[in-house]
Amino acid sequence: MSNAIAKAATGARPVRIVYFAWVRERVGLPEETLDIPTDLATVADLVRWLKARGEGYEAAFSDEAIVRAALDHVHAKPQARLGDAREIAFFPPMTGG
């Protein structure tokens, strides 16, 4: 696929990352657009990459099993593939209703 070739060539792609509730507070911002390496395959890979970015991320994802993720507004498990997701969200377990 030409798309895959283009990505492999650049090695990174821009993704909008949004944070909510105490994940947002710990990261220190509600959203950011980051160029993420195209070799990050899964949500868990992205979390590991984010944790290396600094203390706030480290604190937000200190218990990886607790933080939830969504790819383009759809819940995603840690092993879910990032695919072409353009908006990736991280947040605590939900407490609505």
Partner 1 sequence: MISPLVRIQRGDFSLQDEIDALPAGRADIGAVVSFIGLCRDEAGTLAALELEHYPGMAEAEIARVAAEAVERWPLMGLVAIHRYGLVRPGDQIVLVLAASAHRRAAFEAADFMMDYLKTRAPFWKREHRADGTLGGWVEAKADDDDAAKRWDLAP
Chain positions contacting partner 1, by CB under 8 A: 18, 20-22, 70, 73-75, 89, 91-97
Least separation in angstroms between residue 8's CB and partner 1 is: 30
Least separation in angstroms between residue 56's CB and partner 1 is: 17
Measured between alpha carbons, how far is 71 from 61 in angstroms, rounded to an integer? 17
Least separation in angstroms between residue 25's CB and partner 1 is: 9
Pick the closest to residue 52 from 68, 66, 34 (CA basis): 34
Q: Could you give the C-alpha distances from 48 to 4, 10, 45, 85, 94, in angstroms and in order?
A: 23, 21, 5, 17, 22
Scanning 11-54, the segments in alpha helix (DSSP H) are: 21-27, 43-51
**Of residues 14 and 93, the one with the C-beta less far from partner 1:** 93
Least separation in angstroms between residue 45's CB and partner 1 is: 22
